[in-house]
Structures are given as C-alpha cells and as structure tokens.
Amino acid sequence: MPVTSVVKDTEALTMHIEAEFAVPVHRLWEAYADPRQLEQFWGPVQWPATFIRHDMYPGGISSYYMTGPEGEKSSGFWEFLSVDAGHSFEVLDGFAHEDGTRNLELPTMRMVFRFTETAEGSRAEMTTYFNSLEEFESLLEMGMEEGTLSAMSQMDAVITDLRAYAAEVPTGAKLIGDTQVRISRIIRGSVDQVWAAHHDPELMKRWFLGPDGWELVVVRIAREIDDHYRYEWAPTTAVGEQFGFTGILLESHAPFREVTTEAMIGMEGPPARNELTLTSVPDGTLLTLVITYPSAEVREIVLGTGMLDGMEATYARLEREISVE
C-alpha cells in the first residue's frame, strides 16, 4: 500500500495524507489529469467512480458518481481553485445530487494535492481543510478516512500501467449511463495547438475531412455564445450527396472547454450535446469529448455506424497537421 502517513489535526482542522510511488512525478500528475485513470482509483474498492466531466483548469469543474455493490450511487464534484500543471492543484470538494447539482445540505472541503520527486520516485500529498470541528468529526464518522485509504490503495496498479493510456493508444470510448459516451485520445501537440485546430477554418479543411473520398467544403465557426456553427462535406471520389451538421455554441472557456449542440442538417429531432475538454498531459493533449444523445436508441445507432474508427482517422490527421506546423 503506497500510503506512508495519515495525520489528523483537530486544532488546524486538517487531514494530511502522504503516499510514495516508484514512478516519476509526471506519471502521478497524469493519473489525476486523465479521467480514464482517475476513475480507476478515486473511490473505495467497492465503490468505483465514473467521471462525467473533468475540467482541470482554474474555474473548471469535475463531476462524478461512485457506484456501490448494490447499484446505489453517491455523487460528488470538484471545483478547481488553482492548477500548477505537473506539480499541484487545489479544489473545493463536495457532495452532489444524482443529477449532478451541488448538495448544499452536506459539507464542502478544500483539498490541496501536491506531487514532488523523491529518491525512489515521487510523493503525493493530499491535505483536506475542514470548515469546523463538527464537520470534521461528521465526515470521519461517515468513513472519509477509510474510503480515501481504500481508494489510494488502487493507485499503484493504475500508475504502473504504462500502455493502457499512452499516446499511441487509438481513440477509445466509454459508455456512461444510458445516453452518454466519452471519447478520449491523446493528441501529440499543445492544448493551444489543438484548440486552434478546431477554430481555424483553413486548418480544419485539412484534417476534418469525414469519410474517405469526402472533403469539408463548408466551415462556419461559432465564435460567441449562442452563435451557430455549420460544417458540410461533399464527395470527391466517393458516391453520395452533400451532408453536414449544425449547432449552437453553449459554453466556451478557451483553450480548455467548449460545449455545443449538434444536429444533422435536414434531420428532425432533438440535438446531441457535445462537451469538448482539452487537458495538458506529459505526452501532449488529452482530448475528451462527452456526447449526450437524445436517447439510448440514438446512441446505439450512431456508434453502430463505425463512428469511432472514423474519429481515430480524423484525429490522426489532426495530429499530423499539428506536427508540421
């Protein structure tokens, strides 16, 4: 077990936990920055976590739920107060309702995570700051200490797995609930480069090509909230009719997060919701796209079209375009 020290200070209202690992600091950082990895250990052994959102930048939000042995769920959130990439981050940690909204009836805590080098590898330090002795004692009675230690006991297996989350791993997908899917891929390039590649029409025409034998012929970028975007593809060597997608920009926090709706032009029905997050990791930029479909049936149909293979080909082109800039 990696935990080497647990110190509870009822006067300072803090709990300080240290753990040591035989890996470089950047590997620890990556495990916390990547929701695919974080959900493998953020939660007790019998309560695995699922991260619906993980925006690791100041002002960003993480939203997750843990699923118990009988299918029961416990939801929580992080609000990022500060981020020193590769070294530390600070969050407001709290409970949430099942729909992801904050549960203001339960206490919140401030948590500071620090990662430093040691002679044998690296050290992770987690300090939790409580608002009152009453809240401190209440959360300990709820099993906070035991749950945290159980969660951290799973970290070694995650951080020593060097292949599952490497940059050469192709685009992957995880189903969340009945209507969501989380798409993930590491792009070799900076966050600024990947963000620019999604907002430069001429660059998009070089990598956002659609299926083989098609080209992007219409690119209208949404620059402001409530602006409409529009993308259309036409056949070059393939057979078919021009098609495209349109939607509305709902949120933008450049260069880290963007939320849009998406609907196929000419098709009726409610649109999908796309949440794009870009996170700096040691190998480049982790691109995470959480798509919420109108129904489980629509999600099944879309994924059944070979969408994931198409996205991998598209992101591979994006990576190549960035590399020659």
Q: How far apart (Å, rounded) are the C-alpha atoms in residues 12 and 132?
A: 10
Q: Give tens-digit pLDDT for 120-135.
A: 999 999 999 999 999 9
| Average pLDDT of the residues of the chain | 94
Q: What was the pLDDT predicted at 325?
A: 56
Q: Give tens-digit pLDDT for 41-50.
A: 998 999 999 9
Q: How far apart (Å, rounded) are the C-alpha atoms in residues 206 and 214?
A: 11
Q: What was the pLDDT predicted at 324?
A: 64
Q: Give tens-digit pLDDT for 177-215.
A: 999 999 999 999 999 999 999 999 999 999 999 888 899
CB atoms within 10 A of CB 122: 20
Q: Give tens-digit pLDDT for 46-96.
A: 999 999 999 999 999 999 999 999 999 999 999 999 999 999 999 999 999
CB distance 59 to 69 below 8 Å: no
**What is the token pair recorded at 284?**
């480049």
Region 290-316: mean pLDDT is 95
Which pTM was predicted? Answer: 0.93
Q: What was the pLDDT predicted at 212?
A: 83
Domains contained in the chain, CATH given: 3-159 (3.30.530.20), 172-323 (3.30.530.20)
Q: Give tens-digit pLDDT for 88-99.
A: 999 999 999 988
Q: What was the pLDDT predicted at 135?
A: 94
